Chain A
């Protein structure tokens, strides 16, 4: 039985959203990893500040992609969702723990003033950035190798602790660190921090090489652990694999030549990662779990799939202009954080001008 065109369309959207989360969410996780590896309080201060500045405005919008992945999966492919959530209960719970701790670390970090407290919340944020992508990677590895039973009777420990799944977990961590380092090179350059450009360029090269090695290692495992996937990856999905490898090498070349083009470098690094996600999707076709659950058998009724397509269309219509406005305002530097001295002085003058305004009981002269 062939999958319906609606099922294929929703699956394509799912993989587009997965790629978006891998790129945007992944880079944010990578930032946490580099935060963890930045060194002591003094030496790590500059890179940590850069990481914080580049993640703070975006982490929450980037996080919404994950919610979309869950919703798409359970609406369009309910049996697959139920089986994954049952069999992979443990790694999914651990990745969720990481997500919550990261949010807590983020919310509290900016308010904490004492160094000890800042270090604690910072460590929380950084450590959770490490465990979340790792366990998400083991989940993907378990699904891709077809180790998730269609009707699991409970946790399936072997599914996500296979060599391929664990390697995929490490691959996810390395890929996050790689993406993040490349983006941070550009962030540092935009701010004119030449020393940070150099150091993140080195880190991006190292992480890139490690990612490549891990990808190669995972690939070498596939003929035994996931023969179907391997066959497709060396067959119809081969062009995507080739593009990914080429893009990865191109990024390393640009870093070596110090050609930090804001658009090309970013896009090439993104292509290197996104093509792997799409390659995985194409290699699995037409299966949700190779080769036990097919797309046709695991899809929701057509009306539910059409509804998801309509929702996706509406999301593009409503959310895209919103994002455009947000980025436009940010580019024009219309969005700023807290009030500055100038603002507050203006306010103080105004207060004197407004009659009947009660004077504050305790008045301390502000600096400047």
Chain B
């Protein structure tokens, strides 16, 4: 029994699985934390600027959904903070002084976000329209800067910098070099764009379903167009960014790149594999484009691409097929989303109205799922591709993992908890949406979310002063929510 427990504890796979599932879950909510405020504020801007009741109603309802998602995100983010220590005490004990700094900076933005989310969500009624709009601005800024801080910590694991190690102990730290390591600008830009795509396409997808069901009113058109536009602007930038990052990884983490592209031996005229499964050194079911990988890396077929034979087998990433196919999936979905955005833009340019043919709406309804899948695949590439290192070429995952024996148990519990959290973060907005569609103002009034004072505490009764003059207020029993 003791021996079994010890064998389980020494195995980093349960810990990796737990960290991976926690991160994979939290990152979706983090996207909403980064980008949802911008989507909501765009609708609010249209509403105030044009006196558009439908836009304002959308903004108000989105801000309620935001409250639920931000609360669940705060909890799942706490889980990650704990897991840094519970699962990887070897990493934190040795490098906590270095990797801790970006997390500390993130703490500031976490606080700011929590404060202004409170003001934005519950200031709707009493703040003047533009004062309220501006109260959302810190959420947008804190979202981007918070993402920068957290992603900087992950980047540091890929490009460790800014510390001196002697006899296995960090003896000096340069926090600025830790924060702005070589990978930070690339990873941050990639993640922030991904957050806008995930949030935008997911929200737009909900209203695409509504449009498909024949709810073609202004409420649904705007509910689709606003998030789709933001995500659609991010999509081409993301394709460009992805290309730049791939070249950066080819230089910075060549072995990871080799796994992404099936480059077994260092070579010129490296072929670009599309799809394919690697079985004992051979690629099956894949299509190879001759020399194209070399062209992508160095703009010439003669560019030398480093293969994974450049390092000892023990230092190569496992699951090469998973890494390659995840990379292909991410790239493929990225181009699909880009094409979708370009199609709508083209139609808008020539016709000045929204394209609402089912040929466009059906893929758009699925675009959010596609964006999530692309992002998750991207994280698989960067995290599995870094293996067996937890800190690239400095510390092995197996040296960082906890010797505690409880990880298989906590893995099971965490998976069960995330099932519950998933039900909450999808179920609560769905219940809200159903109530909105029923459109009884009494329910709208008692609607509560984990933030802010409840109506009784909030003082003045409905008989109190109404909304400030000049603020167009949205319809209570207006167009259907999807």
A, B co-complexed = yes
A344 touches B476 (CB 8 A): yes
B173 touches A307 (CB 8 A): yes
State the CA gap A301–B101 with chains docked (Å): 12
Known interface pairs A348-B475, A361-B480. Does A75 touch B96 (Cβ–Cβ under 8 Å)? Answer: yes
Closest beta carbon of chain A to B135's beta carbon, Å: 9
A71 touches B404 (CB 8 A): no
Known interface pairs A67-B107, A339-B444. Does A78 touch B477 (Cβ–Cβ under 8 Å)? Answer: no
Q: How many A-B residue pairs have CB under 8 A?
A: 362
Contacts of A334 in B (CB 8 A): 123, 126-127
Interface residues on B, range: 35 or more
Pick out which of these stretches binds chain A: B264-272, B310-318, B432-440.
B432-440
Which residue of B53, B110, B115 is within 8 Å of A347 (Cβ)? B53
Closest to A86 in B: B89
Pick out which of these stretches binds chain A: B72-80, B275-283, B298-306, B326-334.
B72-80
Main secondary structure of the interface of A (DSSP, over half): helix
Known interface pairs A71-B81, A339-B125. Does A82 touch B118 (Cβ–Cβ under 8 Å)? Answer: no
State the CA gap A43–B477 with chains docked (Å): 36
State the CA gap A337–B455 with chains docked (Å): 6
Contacts of B68 in A (CB 8 A): 107, 111
Within 8 A of B (CB), among A221-256: none
Closest to A349 in B: B473
Within 8 A of A (CB), among B439-482: 439-442, 444-464, 466-467, 472-480
Q: CB of A45 within 8 A of chain B?
A: no
Closest to A323 in B: B115
Could you list 17 examples of A-B contacts with CB < 8 Å? Answer: A57-B451, A60-B450, A71-B81, A74-B103, A78-B94, A93-B410, A100-B75, A106-B71, A301-B171, A315-B108, A337-B452, A338-B445, A338-B455, A340-B464, A344-B444, A351-B475, A357-B218
A315 touches B107 (CB 8 A): yes
State the CA gap A72–B57 with chains docked (Å): 42
Contacts of A350 in B (CB 8 A): 53, 472-473, 475
Interface residues on A, range: 35 or more
A366 touches B441 (CB 8 A): yes
Within 8 A of B (CB), among A38-75: 49, 52-54, 56-57, 59-61, 63-64, 66-68, 70-72, 74-75
1/0 per residue, CB under 8 A from B, across A302-340: the answer is 111001100100110011001101100110011111111
Within 8 A of A (CB), among B393-444: 402-406, 410, 413, 417, 420-421, 424-425, 427-428, 431-432, 438-442, 444
A74 touches B92 (CB 8 A): yes
State the CA gap A96–B122 with chains docked (Å): 29
State the CA gap A71–B77 with chains docked (Å): 12
Q: CB of A202 within 8 A of chain B?
A: no
Residues of B within 8 A of A (CB): 9, 51-54, 57, 60, 64, 68, 71-72, 74-79, 81-82, 84-86, 89-90, 92-98, 100-101, 103-108, 110-112, 114-116, 118-119, 122-127, 138, 170-175, 217-219, 402-406, 410, 413, 417, 420-421, 424-425, 427-428, 431-432, 438-442, 444-464, 466-467, 472-480
A364 touches B123 (CB 8 A): no
Contacts of A360 in B (CB 8 A): 439, 475, 477-480
Contacts of B451 in A (CB 8 A): 56-57, 60
State the CA gap A329–B453 with chains docked (Å): 12
Q: CB of A294 within 8 A of chain B?
A: no
Known interface pairs A108-B428, A301-B172, A346-B467. Does A99 touch B78 (Cβ–Cβ under 8 Å)? Answer: yes
A347 touches B100 (CB 8 A): no
Closest beta carbon of chain B to A91's beta carbon, Å: 11
Q: CB of A5 within 8 A of chain B?
A: no
Contacts of B53 in A (CB 8 A): 347, 350-351, 354, 357
A341 touches B92 (CB 8 A): no
Contacts of A86 in B (CB 8 A): 89, 402-404
A82 touches B92 (CB 8 A): yes
Which residue of A68, A79, A314, A340 is within 8 Å of B93 (Cβ)? A79
State the CA gap A139–B52 with chains docked (Å): 55
State the CA gap A307–B442 with chains docked (Å): 51
Which residue of B116, B173, B452 is within 8 Å of A303 (Cβ)? B173
Contacts of B406 in A (CB 8 A): 89-90, 93, 155
B86 touches A326 (CB 8 A): no
Nearest first, the 7 closest Cβ-Cβ pairs linking A and B are A75-B100, A82-B93, A78-B96, A300-B97, A85-B85, A347-B473, A103-B75
Contacts of B410 in A (CB 8 A): 93
B428 touches A342 (CB 8 A): no
State the CA gap A304–B101 with chains docked (Å): 7
Contacts of B478 in A (CB 8 A): 347, 351, 360
Closest beta carbon of chain B to A143's beta carbon, Å: 14
Closest beta carbon of chain B to A109's beta carbon, Å: 9
Closest to A354 in B: B53
Known interface pairs A82-B89, A364-B438, A366-B440. Does A152 touch B403 (Cβ–Cβ under 8 Å)? Answer: yes
Q: CB of A110 within 8 A of chain B?
A: yes
A335 touches B444 (CB 8 A): no
Closest to A67 in B: B81
B103 touches A78 (CB 8 A): no
Q: CB of A153 within 8 A of chain B?
A: yes
Contacts of B78 in A (CB 8 A): 63, 66-67, 96, 99-100
A322 touches B111 (CB 8 A): yes
Contacts of B74 in A (CB 8 A): 60, 63-64, 103
Closest beta carbon of chain A to B442's beta carbon, Å: 5
B463 touches A155 (CB 8 A): no
Known interface pairs A104-B75, A155-B406, A319-B112. Does A311 touch B105 (Cβ–Cβ under 8 Å)? Answer: yes
Contacts of A12 in B (CB 8 A): none
Contacts of A216 in B (CB 8 A): none
State the CA gap A334–B85 with chains docked (Å): 41
A96 touches B455 (CB 8 A): no
Contacts of B173 in A (CB 8 A): 300-301, 303-304, 307
A110 touches B448 (CB 8 A): yes
B217 touches A358 (CB 8 A): yes
